[in-house]
Amino acid sequence: MEYSIENTINAPIDEQLFESTFKSHFQALYAYACMLVKDEDEAEEIVQTVFLKIWEKRDSITIASSLKAYLYQMVYRNSMNYLRHQKVKQKHHDITLHQANDAGPQMDEGHDHELMDALKNALQELPEKCRKVFLLSRYESLKYQEIADRLGISVKTVETHMGKALKHLRIALADFLPILLILFTNS
C-alpha cells in the first residue's frame, strides 16, 4: 500500500514517506528556486534546506494547506531571504571597495603592517577548526555548505565556528578601529 504525505500531513512522517515526497517534489521545487535566485547551486541548497527543516521538525510540523503549497511557500521564503542577503552583501562589498579605493593611496605602510600582524596573531589564537572554517570562508570564498562538506561537519557547526572567529577578531582588532576610521574618512 502506497502512502501519500498529502493524506498524513499531521501524522509523524516516516523515512519512506519522506523519501518519496522528496523524490516527487524536488525537481519542480529546484526549478522554481532556480528561477527565483538565478543560481543552480544555491537553488539546490535552498530546496535541500527546506526538506531538511521538514525532516528535523517532522514530529511537530503542522501544515494547514496542501503540502505542495507549503513546500513552494518555504522555497519562496528561503529564496527571498537569500536574495536579500545577497543585496546586503553586495552593498557592503561595494562600500568597502569604494572606501578602500578612496583611502588606498593615503594608507600608512606602518599601520598596514601592524594591522596585518595583529590579524595573523588573532587568527593564530583561534582554535584550529575555527581558524580553518574562517580561512575557507574568507580566503577561499567557500559557501558554508562547501566548508561543511570539506571538513565533514554540519552547516550549523560552520556557522558556530564563524561566529566565534568573527567575535574573536572584533575583540582582537578593536585597537585598530580608530586607525581604520581615520584612514577611511580622510579621503
Q: Which numeric CATH code is attached to 5-83?
A: 1.10.1740.10
Q: How far apart are CA 123 and CA 115, in angstroms?
A: 12
**Predicted confidence (pLDDT) at residue 4 exceeds the cutoff of 70:** no
Note the maximum CA span of the chain. 74
Residues of the chain with CATH 1.10.1740.10: 5-83
How does residue 121 score in pLDDT terms, banded at 50, 70 and 90? Answer: confident
pLDDT greater at residue 138 or residue 38: 38
Q: How far apart are CA 21 and CA 80, in angstroms?
A: 23
pLDDT greater at residue 90 or residue 180: 90
Q: What is the 3-state secondary structure (H, E, C) of 27-81?
A: HHHHHHHHHHHCCHHHHHHHHHHHHHHHHHCCCCCCCCCCHHHHHHHHHHHHHHH
Instruction: Render pLDDT for 57-110 as a digit per residue (tens, 0 to 9).
Output: 888 878 777 888 899 999 999 999 999 988 887 777 667 665 555 544 444 455
- pTM metric for this prediction: 0.46
**Predicted confidence (pLDDT) at residue 147 exceeds the cutoff of 80:** yes
Q: How far apart are CA 10 and CA 66, in angstroms?
A: 11
Which of 124, 119, 102, 83 minimizes the C-alpha distance to 183?
A: 102
Q: Are 123 and 134 in contact (CB under 8 A)?
A: yes
Q: Are 153 and 136 in contact (CB under 8 A)?
A: no
Residues of the chain with CATH 1.10.10.10: 107-185
Q: What's the pLDDT score for residue 153?
A: 93
Residue 84 sits at φ, ψ, to 5 deg, of -60, -45
Q: What's the pLDDT score for residue 43?
A: 93
**Predicted confidence (pLDDT) at residue 177 exceeds the cutoff of 80:** no
For helices 155-172 and 144-151, the axis angle rounded to 10 degrees is 110
**Predicted confidence (pLDDT) at residue 118 exceeds the cutoff of 70:** yes
Q: What's the pLDDT score for residue 110?
A: 53
**Predicted confidence (pLDDT) at residue 8 exceeds the cutoff of 50:** no
pLDDT above 90 covers a percentage of the chain that reads 34
Does CATH number 1.10.10.10 belong to domain 107-185?
yes
Average confidence (pLDDT) over 159-187: 74
